[in-house]
Structure formats: C-alpha cells, structure tokens
C-alpha cells in the first residue's frame, strides 16, 4: 500500500503560540485514522492545514505526493471535509446546496442534485430535499453536511465529530458507511472525542497532545504498550494524568459543603 | 436604569406579597428579563442591527425619545389642537406597535422561561405575575419615551392639567397597541406557520422602515402651513369613534378649549373603557390560547414548523443563470446570490428599504414644484435634457444598497465552503455575483427608468438609458477590479457605516463626471448611439478581466 498522507515535522503557530510542534505522520490509503486528543491539542489545526484552509505552516504536509500549500486546487478536488458544527447557507434547500457545490466542483449540476437526493433518501430525508434548511433540526443538518462533504466522491475524507446530533440509528448507519468507504480504498481521517467509536471503527489511532503526537498505532498495539483495557482509559492515562478520580471526589465534596 | 426600575418596584413589594407572590423571586426574574431586553439583538429604524450591546433597549428608548421630540413640536405650534394631538398619538401608536412587533415574541410570548424557571421551586403564580409586570414595565418605558416630549410641550403651553390628561391618554392608548399586536400575531399564527409568520413580520418591518425614512422627507411637504392659522375646532365625524388617535385629539382639544359636550364625554369614555376591556380579554382568553401556539415558536420539534418548499421545478435564477453566465463557478455564484438575496430576511431588511428610498427620493427631485399640476410638471421636465440624464445616473445609487450588504450574512460562517472547494479563479465567482446583482436589481430598475424616460421624453431618448446603464455596469466592474472584493455572504454584519459613505461619495463623483460627459456628448447627434457598442465591448472586456482575478485580489 502506498502512503496517501505524509506529514513531516509540521509546525504551526499563531503569533507566539506554537500550536503544532513538529508532527510526523504517515497514512496509508484505505485506512480509517482516528485522530484524537484533548481540547486544544491541535487536531483542528492539522485538519485545516491538510484541507488547504491554512496555507502557512512549517515543515511539510503532502497528500498523494503533492505539497498542500503548493497544489491547493488538485488537493481540494481529492478531498472531502465535514467540519464540526459547520454552518451552511440554510435559506437554501439541500438540493440547491448540493447543486451549488456541484457547480463549484465542476460537476454536472443536475446529476449532483439528483445524487444528493438519492443520498438523502438513504438518511430518510428524501421528502425534505426541497425544503429550506432553516426548519431543519440539528441532526437533519448534520446529515446534509455529511452528504455535502462526500458528494463529489472524494478519495480522502476528513470528518470532525461527524456523529454530533445524529440519532442512534443514523449513527449505526454512518459507522457502517464509513467502514464500507474504507473498504473501497478511501482514506478517512476521523477526529472525535467519543472514544468508543474511534476504538471500534479506526484502523490506526493517532493521539495528539499539546501539538505533539504522543501515541500512534493500531488499537491493539497501543493496548499492549500501555496495558489498558479501553481507548478511553488509555486516553486518560496519556493525557489526563489520572486526576479524574481525585477531581470527582472533590466535586462531590464541594457540592455537599 | 434597571436598578431604578427595580427600586421603584420595591415600593410595591408588600402589595405583591399580599397577592401571594414570592417577591424576591419576582425581583430576580424581572432583573434578568430587563437585562436580556437590553442585550437582545434588535433591528433599529435604519434596518441595522445592534449586537452584543448592554444598552440595546435603552438605546431604542433614547432614539424614540429624540424622534418623538420633533413630533412634539406640532403640539406646541399647531393651533388646531385636535389634529395636532391626533397626529402625535397616531405617530406614537405606530412607533410602539412597530417596536412591539419585533420584540413581541420575546417579551410577551416567551415560552422558554417556563422550561427554565418552572423546573425550579417557583410557583406558577409568581412566574405569571413577573411576566405581567415585565410586560407592563417594558410597555411603560416605551410609551413614556414616545409620550414624554409631547407631555413637556403640553405642560409648557397648556399647563399641568392638560399635560397629565395627555400622559394618561397616551398610556391608555399604548395598551391598544399591545392589543393590536397580539391580535396580529394571533391571526398570523392561526393561519400560517412560524416560518411564514417571520416572513410576514419581515415584510412589515421593511414597509415600516420605508415609511419612516421616506415619511420624514414628506412631512415637511405634507403639512400645509396655511392650516396653522385655522384654529376652529375639528367637527366630529362618525369615523372618529373608530380611530383611537382621534379620541385623544378630541379629548385634548376639549380640555384645552374648555368645552365639554356629549361627543367629548363619549370619546373620554372610549379612551378609558376600551383599554380596560383589552387588558381583560388579553389576560383571559387571548393569552391562554396563545400559550399552546407560542410553545411552537421556540420548540425544537420540527414537525410543527411548516416546511417551505422551494419546489423541484427549475426556478427563475436557475433558468436565468444559463443566460447570464458561462462557467460553472459563475453559475453557482449567480444562483447563490439570487436565492439568498430573496430569502435572507436581514439582507432584505437592509437592502429593500434603501433601494426604495432612492427610488422614491429620486423622482421627488424632479416633480417637486408646488402649485403646478402634474401635466405642467411633466412638460417642464420634458424640456430639460439635463434632468433626464440625471435621472438615469442617480438611479445607479440604488446599487449602493445592494453592494454594501452583499458581503454580509448571519451565516457568514458558511463561507468555509469557498475555501474547501477547488476554486482556481475566485474572479469567476465575483463575476457571477455581479451578474446576479445586475439581473436581479439593476436590470429591473433600469427597465422602470426606461419606461419613465419613454413616457416623459419619448422613445428617441432610450439610447441615453442604454448607454447610462452600460456605464453603470462599467463602474460596477471597475469597483470589483480596483478594490479587493469580498465573496458574498462571507462576513458578519457590522454596524460600521463608513464604507457606505465612501461608496456614496465615490459614486456621486462618478455620477457627476459621467453624467456631465454624457450630457456634453449628447449635444452632438448620433454620438450616443455610436458610444453604445463601444461601452458594450468595454463591459465584455472588463468582465474577462474580472474572471481572471485570483485569490490575491480577494479579501479573505
């Protein structure tokens, strides 16, 4: 297998604040990568660099052998991105939004609209395809967002907390879809705080803390290294210093004072 | 301000306790609600929204007070008392109703506090009372801001008695504004969905903003100063019994004139009884039947929201985009700008009134000659070549309203898609945006201008309109090429108006120079006709240049 994403000594700073402190990462195509870490670890920054939203960075970030900052257009054509809590122009209907995106990707407008409608049907939203999204619930919008990130059939898909707002059935469905996608050779970059899901669906896990990769491997490998049962425990061991027991005690104590 | 109100309220503390209300709780609820009144983002008279301010409502009150002060001059200087007070009262009612319509759902219909407050140990009686008190305080503030200037004017001119009667009348009448707003909401909610209701309210707001801006231009023209000498009392007509402002007018004129007849007593009775009946009906039936319907307003339950179908058929922009644009990116921009331009309520609220303003003010410049008939005015206008050209170029000012608001949206964050998709030349997007503005806003305006010009000056003058419109296009394109443009709907709404001033200034200079050049050229026959194809090719050329623009020419 060839590596589709190559990151070498990637750094990024906002002013004096060094957010990424030299990240190295090699992702094989066809894998689901679980990209986890506490808040502020630099996960979103990495994703923003890889998706071409942030063009100034140190080190090298290559997708399919192309440096991201040098070939933004080719790379954007290959990528799908589902941001966390993303806003869409919700006075448009899903069909119109897909059509809009189709135009921007240079796809046939009507095909894109049609395809979007079919994909909405899978999520049970076919009847809503021509309604303005202002009336949609959070879960409905999330479904539209998921489809809009994949509608151009990208090779690599970045997903940031993609399950938020979805009901249990949609979650099961989406997890299945993601696994099928990886089986067809697509690479998925999955960032989330829900450890159970990451543990279950990701082929490899990358743990980021304070701008540095502190653990990297399959779940089984990590388990062996750290002698821990679940990914949640492992996460806590590596990033939380096991303080949670003491903190929980303290919380309860303050309440009863 | 809130502390003052709460301090005053403390005087009534024992009264509330006797009613079985937990006063400290009521005070706490009221404190929070008054604070929220000030923080709520609201749309002001200029269609602009204030945000993140701690003084939102106070500011509204100050502006209302200032505007009412102008109206109060009528009371002082207009000897026809009945008319003066009727106008002042009607004005007050309109202002209060307008502010109520925008704030209503939060002030009177707020169903969410049930969820937040009733889950705590608060009796429903305390909550209900604090709602009523809050609504009353809110209304009192508004009504006072509207009525105080006229009260002072009355006080100065006619003494304390008349002043107090006016103040009480104003407060009574403002209750009718609440009734009116309530009934309006109830009707809209019964017959249509929340989404539709918001559209209707949006429409009302647009109309009111137009009325207010244009109204100020008219007030001077409408008041006939000869009327000022006419001090005869207004004779009573049957419809006066149906119009609350007339009740106040007649009561005040009787108070000042010192005569009382049966009609006066009837008016006074109406003034007292109708608001009381209104309060009773509202606190009883209306509010209860609201409760259920209002729940839907904030409810997350999406089934209650009727969905607005945009239809599977090809819509107008999707048909037109094929005509006006070439590349897919252009087409995407064309349709986006068109659709959001027709649907984004705030965009409409900011653009349409300003457009209407220019459209109404423009013609006023020409047809404002008192004492002439319309035909005479038209003949005089038709004589003037210069006015025709001025009309053509001044119409370009409507563009300012569109251009200025195009970068903004409440959903500016949705603009992330521009950066995720492969867009090699954002210039194509800008070009699509421009043609959308042309097709949606400029073309219709110039069709109207063309009609007017044909009507007044004859078909021969149409070449002027065509050339003028093309020159305006060139200006539009030059602006895109010369400045760093912003992609549509990608910025947060801000209050700053400096951009507008510079734009109006630049456009005015442009209108001056090009209008003059146009006029100078038109002195030689056929030159205009020759210029038209030249301008046309210039437009095509500039459009090619815009398409080539890269990301370095776009402000991100």
Report which secondary-structure segment, H or E, holds B50: strand B49-50
What's the pLDDT at B555?
A: 78
Question: Quick one: pLDDT at residue B459?
Answer: 84
Residue of B nearest to A109 (CA): B328
- For A46, residues 6+ apart whose C-beta sits below 8 A from its C-beta are A7, A10, A20, A23, A35, A208
| A87–B420 CB contact, under 8 Å | no
Residues with Cβ < 8 Å from A20, sequence gap 6 or more?
A: A10, A11, A12, A13, A42, A45, A46, A49, A57, A211
Q: Is the pLDDT of residue B48 over 60?
A: no
Residue B311 has pLDDT above 60, yes or no: no
Tell me what pLDDT residue B505 has.
Answer: 75
The answer to whether the beta carbons of residues A185 and A27 sit under 8 Å apart is: no
Q: CB contact, 8 Å: A140 with chain B?
A: yes
User: A24-46 burial, b if ≥16 CB within 10 A, otherwise e?
Assistant: ebebebbbbbbbbbbeebbbbbb
Name the most confidently modeled range: A4-18, A216-230, B71-85, B392-406. Answer: A4-18
What is the nearest CA distance from B553 to chain A, expressed in angstroms? 16
Statement: residue B302 has pLDDT above 70: no
Which residue of B300, B307, B414 is in closest CB contact with A88?
A: B414
B343 vs A76: CB contact, 8 Å cut-off? no
DSSP state of B483: S
Average pLDDT, integer, range B324-342? 90
At B45 the pLDDT is 47
CA–CA separation, A152 vs A146, rounded Å?
12
pLDDT at B363: 63
pLDDT band with cut points at 50, 70 and 90 for residue B297: very low
Contact call for residues B162 and B153 (beta carbons, < 8 A) = no
Encoding tokens for residue B552? Answer: 């370095």
Average pLDDT over residues B175-201: 73
Whether A52 and B420 lie within 8 Å, measured CB to CB: yes
Residue A104 to residue B328, Cβ atoms within 8 A? yes
**Of the given ranges (A32-46, A136-150, B315-329), which has the lowest mean pLDDT?**
B315-329
| Category of B184 on φ-ψ map: left (φ > 0), alpha (ψ -120 to 50) or beta | alpha
Among candidates B311, B329, B409 on the partner chain, residue whose Cβ is nearest the Cβ of A103? B329
The pLDDT value given to residue B115: 59
CA angle, corner B472, sides to B469 and B474, nearest 5?
Answer: 115
> Would the pTM of this model clear 0.80, i.e. be above it?
no
For an interface test with B, the pick among A66, A104, A147, A150 (most B C-beta atoms closer than 10 Å) comes out as: A104
Q: Do residues B151 and B171 lie in contact, with contact meaning Cβ atoms separated by under 8 Å? A: no
Interface of A with B in 13-72 (CB under 8 A): 51-53, 72
DSSP secondary structure code for residue B315 in this structure? P
Chain B residues within an 8 Å CB radius of A76: 420-422
**B180-184, B280-284, B458-462: least confident range:** B280-284
Q: By CA distance, what is A107's nearest residue in B? A: B328
Average pLDDT value for residue range B277-303: 56
On average, the pLDDT of chain B sits at 77
H or E element in which residue B399 lies: helix B398-405
- Is 80 exceeded by the pLDDT of residue A57? yes
The CA distance from A90 to B71, in Å, is 42
| Amino acid B540: pLDDT | 93
pLDDT at B304: 41
pLDDT higher for B116 or B62?
A: B62
Q: For residues A25 and A22, give the distance between their C-alpha atoms in angstroms, rounded to a whole number.
A: 10
Q: For residues B404-418, give the mean pLDDT.
A: 85
Give the DSSP letter of residue A224.
H
**B325, B418, B491, B494 from B555: Cα distances, Å:** 23, 12, 11, 16
Q: B116 pLDDT band (50/70/90 cuts)?
A: low
Given a cut of 50, whether residue B300 has pLDDT beyond it is no
Picking from B420, B487, B489, B492 by the largest number of A CB atoms within 10 A of its own CB, the best residue to mutate is: B420
Average pLDDT score over residue span B357-384:
63
Name the DSSP class of B234.
Answer: P
Higher pLDDT pick, B306 / A116: A116
Contacts of B10 (CB under 8 A, 6+ apart): B27
Q: What pLDDT sits at residue B299? A: 41
Interface test with A, best of B202, B307, B409 (most A CBs within 10 A): B307
Of A55-69, B5-19, B485-499, B506-520, the least confident: B485-499
- What percent of chain B stands above pLDDT 90? 7
Alpha helices in A151-201 (DSSP H): 168-183, 195-201
Q: Has residue B346 got a pLDDT over 70?
A: yes
Chain B neighbours among A 78-137 (CB < 8 Å)? 79, 81, 83, 86-93, 95-96, 99-106, 109, 128, 130-132, 134-137
CA A126 to chain centre: 25
Instruction: Tell me which of A86 and B55 has the higher pLDDT.
Output: A86
- Chain mean pLDDT for chain A: 89
Return phi, psi of residue A24, to 5°: -120, 130
> Is there a contact between B345 and B500 (Cβ–Cβ < 8 Å)?
no
pLDDT at residue B235 tops 60: yes
Q: Give mean pLDDT, residues A65-78.
A: 87
Q: What backbone phi and psi angles, to 5 degrees, belong to A58?
A: -100, 160
Chain A residues closer than 8 Å to B311 by CB: 130
Q: How close are the terminal C-alpha atoms of chain A, in Å?
A: 60
Quote the pLDDT of residue B501: 66
* Range in A140-149, B33-42, B257-266, B286-295 the model is least confident about: B286-295
- Higher-confidence residue of B440 and B211: namely B440
- State the smallest CA–CA distance between residue A187 and chain B in angstroms: 17
User: Token digits for B8?
Assistant: 């005053």
Region B313-340: mean pLDDT is: 86
Tokens of B100: 């109520």
ipTM score of the complex? 0.73
Structure confidence by residue, pLDDT tens digits, A79-89: 899 988 788 88
pLDDT at B53 (0 to 100): 59
- Please determine, for residue A154, whether its predicted confidence score (pLDDT) is greater than 90: yes
Contact call for residues A125 and A68 (beta carbons, < 8 A): no
Tokens read off for B471: 């020159």
| CB nearest to A87's CB, from B306, B344, B414 | B414
Predicted local distance difference test score (pLDDT) of residue B215: 62
Beta strands in chain A (DSSP E): 3-14, 17-28, 32-36, 58-63, 66-67, 79-82, 156-160, 187-191, 204-209, 212-217
Contacts of A105 in chain B (CB under 8 A): 421-422
Given a cut of 90, is residue A181 above it in pLDDT? yes
CA–CA distances in Å: residue B302 to residues A96, A116, A250? 20, 22, 41
Comparing A78-82, B253-257, B272-276, the range with the smallest average pLDDT is B253-257
CA-CA-CA-CA torsion sign (B238, B241, B243, B246): positive
pLDDT at B301 > cutoff 60: no
Q: Which residues of B fall below an 8 Å CB-CB distance to A?
A: 195, 300, 302, 305-312, 318, 328-329, 331-332, 335-336, 339-340, 343-344, 409, 411, 413-414, 416-417, 419-424, 489
**Residue closest to B341 by CA, chosen among B361, B368, B315, B371:** B315
Mean pLDDT of B512-522: 83
At A145 the pLDDT is 94
Residue that wins the pLDDT comparison between B298 and B79: B79
Neighbour-count burial for B215-227, b at 16+ CB within 10 Å, e otherwise: eeeeeeeeeeeee
Q: A124 pLDDT exceeds 90?
A: yes
Report the DSSP pairing between strands A156-160 and A187-191.
parallel
User: For helices A219-226 and A231-239, what crossing angle results, to 10°?
Assistant: 60
């Amino acid at each position: 297998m060839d590596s589709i994403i190559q990151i070498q000594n990637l750094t990024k700073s906002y002013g004096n604040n060094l957010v990424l402190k030299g990240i190295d990462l090699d992702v094989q195509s066809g894998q689901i990568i679980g990209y986890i870490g506490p808040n502020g670890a630099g996960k979103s920054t990495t994703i923003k660099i890889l998706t071409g939203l942030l063009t100034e960075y140190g080190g090298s970030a290559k997708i399919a052998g192309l440096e991201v900052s040098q070939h933004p257009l080719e790379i954007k054509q290959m990528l799908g991105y589902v941001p966390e809590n993303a806003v869409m122009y919700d006075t448009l209907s899903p069909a119109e939004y897909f059509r809009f995106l189709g135009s921007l990707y240079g796809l046939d407008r009507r095909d894109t609209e049609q395809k979007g409608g079919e994909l909405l049907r899978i999520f049970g939203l076919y009847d809503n395809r021509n309604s303005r999204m202002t009336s949609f619930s959070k879960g409905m919008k999330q479904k539209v967002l998921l489809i809009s990130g994949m509608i151009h059939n990208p090779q690599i898909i970045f997903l940031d907390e993609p399950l938020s707002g979805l009901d249990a059935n949609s979650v099961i469905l989406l997890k299945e879809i993601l696994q099928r996608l990886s089986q067809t050779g697509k690479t998925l970059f999955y960032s989330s705080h829900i450890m159970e899901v990451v543990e279950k669906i990701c082929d490899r896990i990358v743990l980021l803390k304070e701008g540095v990769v502190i653990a990297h491997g399959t779940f089984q490998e990590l388990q062996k290294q750290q002698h821990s049962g679940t990914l949640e425990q492992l996460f806590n061991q590596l990033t939380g210093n096991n303080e949670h027991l003491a903190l929980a005690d303290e919380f309860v104590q303050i309440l009863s004072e | 301000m809130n502390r003052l109100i709460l301090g005053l309220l403390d005087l009534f503390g024992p009264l509330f306790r006797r009613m079985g209300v937990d006063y400290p709780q009521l005070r706490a609820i009221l404190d929070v609600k008054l604070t929220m009144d000030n923080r709520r983002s609201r749309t002001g008279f200029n269609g602009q929204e204030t945000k993140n301010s701690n003084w939102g409502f106070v500011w509204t009150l100050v502006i209302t007070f200032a505007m009412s002060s102008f109206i109060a001059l009528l009371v002082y200087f207009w000897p026809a008392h009945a008319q003066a007070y009727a106008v002042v009262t009607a004005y007050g009612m309109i202002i209060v109703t307008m502010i109520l319509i925008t704030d209503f759902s939060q002030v009177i219909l707020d169903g969410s506090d049930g969820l937040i407050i009733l889950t705590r140990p608060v009796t429903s009686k305390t909550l209900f009372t604090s709602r009523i008190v809050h609504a009353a305080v809110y209304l009192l503030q508004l009504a006072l801001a509207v009525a105080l200037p006229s009260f002072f004017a009355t006080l100065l001119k006619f003494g304390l008695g008349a002043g107090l009667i006016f103040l009480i009348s104003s407060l009574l009448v403002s209750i009718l504004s609440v009734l009116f707003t309530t009934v309006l909401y109830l009707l809209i909610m019964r017959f249509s969905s929340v989404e539709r209701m918001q559209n209707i309210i949006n429409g009302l707001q647009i109309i009111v903003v137009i009325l207010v801006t244009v109204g100020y231009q008219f007030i001077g023209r409408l008041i006939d100063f000869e009327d000022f000498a006419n001090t005869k009392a207004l004779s009573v007509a049957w419809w006066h019994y149906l119009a609350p402002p007339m009740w106040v007018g007649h009561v005040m004129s009787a108070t000042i004139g010192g005569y009382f007849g049966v009609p006066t007593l009837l008016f006074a009775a109406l003034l007292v009884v109708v608001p009381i009946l209104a309060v009773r009906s509202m606190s009883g039936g209306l509010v209860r039947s609201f409760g259920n319907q209002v729940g839907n307003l904030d409810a997350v339950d999406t089934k209650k929201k009727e969905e607005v179908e945009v239809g599977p058929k090809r819509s107008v922009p999707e048909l037109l985009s094929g005509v006006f644009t070439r590349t897919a990116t252009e087409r995407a921009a064309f349709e986006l700008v068109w659709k959001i331009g027709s649907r984004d309520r705030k965009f409409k609220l900011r653009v349409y009134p300003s457009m209407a303003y220019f459209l109404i003010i423009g013609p006023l410049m020409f047809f404002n000659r008192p004492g002439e008939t319309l035909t005479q005015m038209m003949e005089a206008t038709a004589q003037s070549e210069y006015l025709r050209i001025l009309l053509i170029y001044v119409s370009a000012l409507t563009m300012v309203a569109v251009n200025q608001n195009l970068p903004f949206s409440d959903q500016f964050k949705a603009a992330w898609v521009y950066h995720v998709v492969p867009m090699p030349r954002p210039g194509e997007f800008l070009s699509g945006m421009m043609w959308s503005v042309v097709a949606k806003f400029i073309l219709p305006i110039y069709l109207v201008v063309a009609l007017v010009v044909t009507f007044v000056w004859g078909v021969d003058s149409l070449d002027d309109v065509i050339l003028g419109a093309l020159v305006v296009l060139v200006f539009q394109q030059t602006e895109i090429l010369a400045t760093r443009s912003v992609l549509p709907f990608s910025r947060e709404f801000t209050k700053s108006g400096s951009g507008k001033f510079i734009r109006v200034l630049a456009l005015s200079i442009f209108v001056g120079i090009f209008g003059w050049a146009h006029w100078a050229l038109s002195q030689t026959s056929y030159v205009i006709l020759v210029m038209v194809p030249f301008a046309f090719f210039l437009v095509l050329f500039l459009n090619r240049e815009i398409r080539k623009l890269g990301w370095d020419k776009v402000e991100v």
